[in-house]
Structures are given as C-alpha cells and as structure tokens.
Amino acid sequence: MTSAVSLQTVSRHFGAVRALDEVDLEVGEGEFFAMLGPSGSGKTTCLRLIAGFEQPTLGQIRIFGDAVEGVPPYRRNVNTVFQDYALFPHMNVRENVEFSLMLKRVDKATRAREAEAALELVKLGGYGDRRPGQLSGGQRQRVALARAIVNRPKVLLLDEPLGALDLKLREQMQEELKALQKTLGITFIFVTHDQGEALSMADRVAVFDFGKLVQVGTPEEIYTKPNSRFVADFVGSSNVLAPEFVETIAGERRWASLRPEAIHLLRSEGGHSALTGTVVSRSYLGATTRLGIELGGTLLHAVVPSGTDVPADGARVTIGFAREALHLMEDAG
Amino acid sequence: MRSDTPRAPWGLKLAAGAGLFFMLAPIALIFLYAFSSEERTYQWPPPGLTLKWFAVTWNRPDVWQALTLSVQVAAISTAIALVLGTLCAAAVSGTRFFGRETISLLVILPIALPGIITGISLRSAFSLMEIPFSFWTIVLGHATFCIVVVYNNAVARFRRTSGSMIEAAMDLGADKFQTFRHVILPNIGTALLAGGMLAFALSFDEVIVTTFTAGQQQTLPIWMLEELVRPRQRPVTNVVAMVVVIVTLLPILLAFYFSRGGDQTVAGMGK
C-alpha cells in the first residue's frame, strides 16, 4: 500500500500549547481515513497541516512521497471541505465549483462541463445558477464537496463535514460520502468528534487526545480492542473496569474494557460472588434494553435483548461474559 | 404599509412636520435666493427671480479654482484612505496581536475628536516640522478622518466575511494576489465604495480642519465663508451652495444604497 499522506514525528506547538505532539501516521492511497477525538485533541490541526494552512514545528509531512515543507496550500494537490463550507457568497454555485478550473485557465466550455459533472456527482445537477444564500445547509455542503472534487485532488480533506447537518441528513450524507469515495477512488481524510460517524464510515480510524495520537486501527479494532481507558471511554459506551476489579475476576491487575453487549445475565437468587449485583437502572431502547448493574461499588452497563425475562429494578443478577470479551488495556492506570 | 398599522395622533404629526420644516426651510431659502435678482441683501420676499447668477457663477474663475481644489483634495484623501483604511481593517480583523484593540480605537479617534483639536494638532505639528502649508497639508488633514470612514465600513464587512473563505480560495489554487482579486475584493467592494463615497462627501464640505491646515488655498467651503462677508454678487454663493448640496448628497445616497445592498448578500450567507 502506497502512502498517500505520511506524517513523521510531526509536532505543532502554539507557544506552550502542544496542539499536536510527535505524531506518526500513514494514510494509504484510496483509504477512507477518520481522525477522531474531542475538541482540542489536535485532529483539526493535523488536517490543517496536511492542507498547508499550518506548518509543522517539528517533523516532516509527505504527500505521495513528496516532502511538502514550505509548499503553500495553493500548490498542494489536496483540497478541503470546510466545516462552515466557506462558499464564496458573491458567486453562484457554478462559479464556486469552477473556481479552481478558472484559476488553471481551463477554457469556458470545459469548465462548465466539468462543474456540471461534479454537481451531478453530489446530486445537485441543474443548481448552477443558484446563489449559495438560496441553498439549504445540506445543499451548501454538497456544493462545497463538488468544488473540492472538481479538481480531482489526490487527497480530499473534510473538516467535520457533517457537523452542521441534522441527524437524518447526516446519516444520508454518510452513505453518500462513502459511495462518492468509492466512485472517485481518491483518499478521503475526515475529521470528526462523532465516534459513530468515524466507525461507520472509515476504513481506519485514528484517535487523538491532547495532541497525541492514541490509537490507529480499523473500526473493529478500535471498538473491541481499545488500547487505553480514553479510547474505551470515548469510542462507544464501553465499561471501563478498574485494576482492582479486574484482578478479582481475571487475576491480572490492569485496566480492562468490557462491551455492554458482551455481558449476559444469569439469574441468581442467593448466590454471592464477585459477579453478582443489583439492577439499579433500566432504559428501554427498542430491540434491546440497557441495564445499570452495581457490583460491589462498580457500576456496569449491560445491553440485553428486550423481552419478558429482563430483570426488574432492584433484582439480584449474576453476570457472565466470555473471557476474550474482557479486553485488558496497556495503561496500568 | 399595512392597513392595520395604528395611525399617529395629529399632535405627533404636527410636531414632526414642524421639526422637518425647521430643518429644511433654511435650505429651501438658500435655493430660493440663488434665483433672487437682488445681489446685496437677503430681503424677503426676493424682489424678482432671475437665472443670471448661474451664468455669473460659471464665469467666475475663483469659483472654478475653489471647486477644482476641493474635488482634488477630496479625491486624493479618499484614495489614501481607501488604501490605508482597508489595510488597517484587514490587519485588525484578520489577525490577533498585542494592542489590537488600542490600535482600533486610535484609528477611530480622529472622527471622535472635535475637528478643532485635529486642526490645531496638525497645524502645530506641521509648523514644528517646518512643513509649509500647501495642497498636501490639506490632503493629510482630510485623510485623517477619511481613513476612519473607510476603516469602519471595511472592518464591519471583514468581520462578516468568513476567514475560511480566504483559506478556501488558497486551497483551490489561488495565490495571495488571486485570492485578493477574486475573493476578498468582490466581498468588501461595496463596503469600500460606500466608505469611499462617504469619505469624499466628508472631505468635500470640511471647514474646520481645512482652516487650520490650508495656506493661501481656498477649498469651496472656505471660499463660501469668505464670500458671505462681502456684499457683492451674493447669490453666487447660493448657486455654489446648491452645487455642494448636490455633489455631497448624491454620494451619500449611493453609499447608503450600496451598504444596504451589501448587507443582503452577506446576510444570505449565514449558516
């Protein structure tokens, strides 16, 4: 796999603030890559470094093998979809999409044809004469997308592309973005703070926290084998188990994560082991029910199939799970 | 207007009418006396009406000199203000640096200060530096407050222009000059036009700062002031006054129109 973008011990410091700290990252060609993290974790800084709006304090960035140190954004074969779309309000949709072609002095007929093709790709064919101000949020987003892909960049960067859309539109756009990426075959790198979005869309996910790259892996790896409490906590709603607790059930004094859906219930009336507890909360989620179970001071969440045998509040239950579902994490705590 | 809008009571209408009359009647009188056949006094009613003062004014070289000087001063100070005011607005709104708010305040100060203070300080500064009073000292004086007008207009527009738009332009292949030409200028253009016209109008009828910074030159307002003292061909002053009203009113109306139109295009961009 060729590297589309590679970061070698890249740091970006703003005074004393380490927005990005010694990050090593390889993004493969044609990959749909997500950068996930809470706000201020460095994911957006990372994107801006690749786009060329920021320069690394230390380290090196390569785009398809070429070092891009000092190369301004307008000479990088990389385009960005901005969080606020950043459409030009004084131009209509077609002029917005044609902008990069106009700068390249492509002739008018070709320009119009390619702009229309890009608009077709984002399902906005025929909208060329509208003004950005006349479009809905979702449509503006599509224009921003069309404007960024009309140039056929080698890498497309998306900064929280779906952040401003409502839930339904967001789900629809997630699928469309994936389809678009398959059609174009170019590398997509997108930044998000929504773990669901990252897991459902990306081929691989990089999790950032406090400027550090915490974990990189496929969505499944990140979800089932988080390498730290932070990842386990941030990606989904995993149970994070304290070392003392893990020692009693697994014999090792380490932090561990346990997915709520990996827990099943064994009814127990009088039994008293480390895995027996009391149901303290119950939320009905439709097909499943989410239970809060207190086990000797530790609160665990379990997701069980809804039905008649879901224990009531205050019921005594014993939990069970497969040993391999308990994922021991690297940090000792 | 909607028909269910409550009607104003007649007392309020009367008061508003009286207020407007009080403000506008003197201006109407100025216009009327431009046509008076009496040249020494402003007697009421004018003994007769004539158009001859327009011809007289047209043939007076001192009027032409004053008018030319005023137009030149206004044009050049506006041009200086456009460049410096825009640059200053771009710096203040586009970057963060120590003392930014202070600079913003200092730039606006000349218009907040009484003109007489600006005039005195410039005059003493010029004589201290032994700069002879000339056309350029007037231009400098006017530029101080013209910059404020342009700056205020530009800074308001810059604030509403998304910063990522400039990055988007560069991302799509525009170098700094192309970004300015294709993205920044079209977005602040109407604001600059409005600011420029307002600056021109302000400079064109400025008296106080001009009095302190001019040498022997007479701008149009100064010329009018001198003319009122002499009881000869008085209606000529009124003709000139009419011209000044028209020359300053038109740009202000246009500026109003443009800054309003600009609001709409930018407001439509809100997320």
DSSP letters, B54-70, are HHHHHT-HHHHHHHHHH
Q: Among A204-208, A318-322, B252-256, whose mean pLDDT is lowest? A: B252-256
The residue-averaged pLDDT of A268-292 equals 79
Whether A216 and A252 share a structural domain: no
Whether A252 and A191 share a structural domain: no
Residue with tokens 């047209």: B58
Residues of B numbered 212-271 whose beta carbons fall under 8 angstroms of chain A's beta carbons: which are they?
Answer: 265-269, 271
CB A228 within 8 A of CB A332: no
Over 70: is that where the pLDDT of A269 sits?
no
Distances (CA, A) of B1 to A196, B4, B5, B14, B17: 52, 9, 7, 20, 20
Task: Choose, out of A81, A84, A101, A149, the residue to mutate when testing the contact with B (most B CBs < 10 Å).
Answer: A84
**Which chain A residues are within 8 Å of B97, Cβ to Cβ?**
none
CATH number for A241: 2.40.50.140
Q: Does B186 touch chain A (CB under 8 A)?
A: yes
Task: Choose, out of A53, A71, A88, A95, the residue to mutate when testing the contact with B (most B CBs < 10 Å).
Answer: A88
A333 in a domain, yes or no? no
**Which chain B residues are within 8 Å of A78, Cβ to Cβ?**
171
A-to-B residue pairs, Cβ atoms closer than 8 angstroms: 82
Percent of chain B past pLDDT 90, that is, above it, reads 23
The edge-to-edge listing of strands for the beta sheet with A298-305 is: A264-267, A316-320, A276-284, A288-295, A298-305
Closest approach of chain B CAs to the CA of A97, in angstroms? 10
pLDDT at A190: 93
- CB-based contact B175 A133, cutoff 8 Å: no
- CB-based contact A73 B167, cutoff 8 Å: yes
**pLDDT tier, A158 (very low <50, low <70, confident <90, very high otherwise):** very high
The residue-averaged pLDDT of B71-100 equals 88
Query: Per-residue pLDDT tens for A228-251?
Result: 888 988 887 788 888 888 888 777
Burial class (CB in 10 A: 0-12, 13-18, 19+), B42: middle
CB A228 within 8 A of CB A331: yes
- CB-based contact B175 A74, cutoff 8 Å: yes
Query: Per-residue pLDDT tens for A27-53?
Result: 999 999 999 999 889 999 999 999 999
**pLDDT tier, A102 (very low <50, low <70, confident <90, very high otherwise):** very high
**Which chain A residues are within 8 Å of B162, Cβ to Cβ?**
84, 86
CB A244 within 8 A of CB A253: yes
Whether A206 and A115 share a structural domain: yes
Percent of chain A past pLDDT 90, that is, above it, reads 50
Q: DSSP secondary-structure letter at A325?
A: G
Instruction: Give which of B162, B188, B181, B182 is closest to B271, Cα–Cα.
Output: B162
The residue-averaged pLDDT of A90-108 equals 93
A175 in a domain, yes or no? yes
The residue-averaged pLDDT of A151-174 equals 88
Question: CA B10 to CA B6: how far, in whole Å?
Answer: 12
Q: Positive or negative CA dihedral for B53, B54, B55, B56?
A: positive
Closest approach of chain A CAs to the CA of B176, in angstroms? 9
**pLDDT tier, B258 (very low <50, low <70, confident <90, very high otherwise):** confident
**pLDDT tier, A297 (very low <50, low <70, confident <90, very high otherwise):** confident
pLDDT at B231: 66
Partner residue opposite B269 with nearest CB, options A78, A104, A132? A132
Whether A195 and A241 share a structural domain: no
CB A135 within 8 A of CB A127: yes
Over 60: is that where the pLDDT of A116 sits?
yes
**pLDDT tier, B156 (very low <50, low <70, confident <90, very high otherwise):** confident
Whether A117 and A150 share a structural domain: yes
Which of A230, A249, A275 is the C-terminal boundary of a domain? Answer: A230
Over 60: is that where the pLDDT of B261 sits?
no
**Up-side HSE of residue A333: CA atoms within 13 Å toward CB?**
15
What does the mean pLDDT of chain B come to? 84
Whether A226 and A244 share a structural domain: no
**Which chain A residues are within 8 Å of B188, Cβ to Cβ?**
none
Over 50: is that where the pLDDT of A4 sits?
yes
pLDDT at B217: 82
Whether A217 and A284 share a structural domain: no
Over 50: is that where the pLDDT of B270 sits?
no
Whether A257 and A209 share a structural domain: no
Architecture of the domain delimited by B64-267: Orthogonal Bundle (1.10)
Distances (CA, A) of A324 to A224, A251, A259, A274: 10, 14, 11, 18
Query: Per-residue pLDDT tens for B87-123?
Result: 998 888 877 778 888 888 888 888 888 888 888 999 9
Whether A226 and A251 share a structural domain: no
Partner residue opposite B269 with nearest CB, options A79, A82, A133? A133
**Which chain A residues are within 8 Å of B186, Cβ to Cβ?**
88, 90-91
Closest approach of chain A CAs to the CA of B180, in angstroms? 13
pLDDT at B250: 82
The interface predicted TM-score (ipTM) is 0.80
CATH number for A156: 3.40.50.300
**Which chain A residues are within 8 Å of B181, Cβ to Cβ?**
none
Q: Which residue of B has its CA nearest to A95?
A: B182
pLDDT at B214: 84
pLDDT at B264: 42
Interface of A with B (CB under 8 A): 51, 53, 72-74, 78-80, 82-91, 99-100, 102-104, 131-134, 137, 147-148, 151, 164
A176 in a domain, yes or no? yes
pLDDT at B35: 85
Which of A204, A230, A256 is the C-terminal boundary of a domain? Answer: A230
Quote the domain boundaries for residue A146. 3-230
What does the mean pLDDT of chain A come to? 88
Domain spans, chain B: 64-267
**pLDDT tier, A274 (very low <50, low <70, confident <90, very high otherwise):** low
Which of A230, A264, A288 is the C-terminal boundary of a domain? Answer: A230
Whether A161 and A219 share a structural domain: yes
- CB-based contact B178 A132, cutoff 8 Å: no
Overall domain count for chain A: 2
Q: Which residues pair with A333 in a beta bridge?
A: none
Whether A71 and A177 share a structural domain: yes
Q: Does B14 touch chain A (CB under 8 A)?
A: no
pLDDT at B266: 38
Over 50: is that where the pLDDT of B179 sits?
yes
Query: Per-residue pLDDT tens for B14-60?
Result: 999 999 999 999 888 888 888 887 777 777 777 778 888 888 888 88
Contacts of B155 (CB under 8 A, 6+ apart): B89, B92, B93, B104
**Which chain A residues are within 8 Å of B261, Cβ to Cβ?**
none
CB A288 within 8 A of CB A271: no
Whether A34 and A130 share a structural domain: yes
